[in-house]
A and B are shown apart, each in its own frame.
Chain A
Amino acid sequence: MSLSQRPWLYFGPAALAAGAVGVALTLTSDHEEHPGFTIALALFVSMSFVFAGLIGWTRRPTNRTGMLMVAVGFGVLATSLYEANYALPFTLGNLVGSLFIAAFVHLLLAYPSGRLISRYGRAIVVSAYATAFLAPLLDSMFPEQHTCKPHACPDNLVFVSHNHAAHVAETAVWTTVAVALFAGAFLLLIGRWRRATPALRRQLRPVYLAGGLSVLLLAVGFIVTPFSGVGNTVVSIALIVTFTAVPFLFLAGLLGTTLARSAGVDAIFTSVPERASPGEVQEGLRVALRDPTAQVAYWYEEGGHYVDVDGNRFELPTDTRHRVVTSLDYADSPVAAIVHDPALREEPELLAAITSAARIALERDKLLVEVKARAERYRAVLQAMPDLMFRIARDGTYRGYNAPNERDLLSEMVVGRKVHERLPQELADRVLAAGQAAVDRGTPQMIEYALDFTGETRNYEARFAASGEDEFLMIVREITERKRQQEELQASRARIVAAGDDERRKLERNLHDGAQQRLVSLSLSLRLAQNRVHSDPEGAEQLLDAAREELAQALEELRELARGIHPAVLTDRGLDAALEALAARSQLPIEISGPAGNLPAQVEAAAYYVVSEALANVTKYAQASAVEVKVARMNGIAVVEVADDGVGGADPLRGSGLRGLADRVASLSGKLEVESPPGVGTRVRAEIPLE
């Protein structure tokens, strides 16, 4: 069984034995004026340090503070050797009588871990031990002329001389060194206090208060001792009080931790509500750990990272002097982590008790936070979507919404209102019916509707999906533009069909009224001629002449009609030749530029009809003197332009001809523009993609 595991076993009896020796030496001393008081004080102080130290040592075997306190206690007991009536213990007592002061400085500078962490601190402690041994040695070698009362002092085994100068010199040197060391230690304590985190200060406060004061008083005592007996007494009494307080304050701190631990566990289990949110649990932990900056991070299994109480991704910091991480694992898998003040590591019982209590709560919360993290992700996805979104209870109450475009909202008052308060009656009925159907049947629903905003009507499409047992999501997308394009497309298709029907009707009429009539006449003339060929050959010949004339006209009409249906020259010789033919038939001078080369047949046909219709309009309305026709390829687009120098003022929407052309061009994904400012002329421009 090792010393560190059972310090009581060794140091308890040792302290009692040393105390007994001290009592014997003091009470039998023939050079101690106040043996009772002296031994009582020595025992009180030393035993306080020893036993407080042993309690600390047992509680915190890895913390050296307890050990150092035991050392201070034994150091105080060692001063009793001075009371011995024999030369050797008396001399030894003189030499080791100050070591407890060095141990005390060591204890203070190493508090609360018991280990010296700074080089500066180690230097002071080493110097203090050296001084605590060398100063009494030199003082014993060159002591002041003084006599012990009531009897003579025992022999001083290291005595050299009573040289006054030597005594004054060594006293001055050691006083200076001691004061410097005390001042150094004091400054170190102040520096550490200033850098300490709130939790560390809480630990340091009582011990530093008493210990720091003791160091200060020791320094003051060293300075005033040579000059003032009264001052020395006052400082000594104050010193005894502060010095003796240290072990009690230390013990109080230790017991305080125990109390805090149970209070902390209690806080986790009672003060935090049973169905606490992760935020409340974090708050409870902060109270329990007495660290207002502590943070709880939950392990988010799905994401493979930690998240904070709000579900946001959280990177654990690396341990620093200000923040450390304590991980909470369960069956080798991470549950959570607590980022806290490193000072809490000095209260491992507190931390352990609280974290194991917290683990249960956190394990439960982990699920909650995972759900929250997932919700957070969905929220991010939803926010990135361009759609207006509402979460609506089954009874029609809005529970939340996301509006990327505020202009889509009829009013900004949403949450808590009912659909019937925000939407027109008929629409609200449809919304509620579709939402309830989505919830009841579990299948998404969709409606389309239009809303009148100031000055415009906008079309929307709303989709409904169940988002809980008693609520649904309504996802709204504006489809005004799509609707407009759809309507435009439908209208355009209808016009193309109507134009086709119209063309056919016209064609039938033209055939009927023209060529067909002529052929009927021809047939009748031939029958007449046939009847007369014998009786009236002359009349028959006249009839045949008339018939031939009729036939020639019928042929001409048929040719004209066929050209109207589709110009043969376009099919046979291409757009350039077809445009030349158009120009040749026109009565106006026409300039054609930009041979287009081969274009897709549909594009050539569209281009031909654009030019043909535009030229027909020029002839009919423009009163122009010249026309310019351009056909060009530009960046995969065929551009056809017909410009005249006539009166302008053409309305592209009025005539069915231009409208039909626009539809024809649109059917090839192209566009037709008409510019016709009055007095300037008209420019018809079509752009038709070649692909």
Chain B
Amino acid sequence: MVVTVLIVDDHPSFRASAKTLLEAEGFDVVGEAENGETAVQAARELQPDLVLLDVQLPGIDGFAVADQLRRLEDPPVVILTSSRDGADYGRCIGECGAHGFVPKADLSGAAIAAFFAA
């Protein structure tokens, strides 16, 4: 079964790179969103298995988006990502309902799959 992915990030260059990378590793990128509001909307419509969610978004940030996503009827797996280190965010990552955190520079199909399997 192919895992469907929604990529949420305000930087188009990252979205493009991540899409290429994940698709090359067998994921199906079903959609992209550039901010929190459209992300929740897209997740409701596309029902992806996984949301790759940037922490620093314009408007509501990634933590708030993660919190909203877990309240959906069939909540997706949420993986937060950032060009910063996960430690910079302290306990926020665990408390907002996200399933994990992957630094952007370390993004790979294997890193994602590890969380997904768990």
Contact = CB atoms under 8 A, between A and B. Distances in A.
Interface in B84-116: 84, 104-105, 107-108
Interface stretch (A207-215, A525-533, A656-664): A525-533
Give chain A's interface residue range (CB within 8 Å of chain B). Answer: 10 to 19
Given A520-B104, A523-B105, A528 B13 contact: no
A518 B25 CA distance: 22
A632 interface: no
Nearest to A513: B11
Contacts of A520: 14, 17, 83, 104-105
B21 interface: yes
A518 B56 contact: no
A512 B107 contact: no
Contacts of A531: 24-25
Nearest to B103: A520
B26 to A, nearest CB: 12
Given A512-B83, A517-B11, A524 B56 contact: no
B14 A521 contact: yes
A516 interface: yes
Interface in B3-24: 11, 13-14, 17-18, 20-21, 24
Contacts of A532: 24
A519 interface: yes
Contacts of A516: 83
Contacts of B21: 524, 527-528
A527 B84 CA distance: 19
Contact of A525 (B17, B84, B104): B17
A519 B105 contact: yes
A521 B17 contact: yes
A517 B83 CA distance: 7
A540 to B, nearest CB: 11
Given A512-B83, A516-B83, A517-B11, A528 B105 contact: no
Nearest to A543: B20
B74 to A, nearest CB: 29
Contacts of A517: 11, 13-14, 83
A116 B104 CA distance: 130
B24 A528 contact: yes
A50 B11 CA distance: 141
A22 B10 CA distance: 155
6 contacts: A513-B11, A517-B13, A518-B13, A521-B14, A524-B107, A550-B13
Given A519-B105, A524-B14, A527-B107, 6 more contacts: A520-B105, A521-B14, A523-B104, A524-B104, A524-B107, A550-B13
Q: Closest 5 CB pairs between A and B?
A: A524-B17, A520-B104, A523-B105, A516-B83, A521-B13
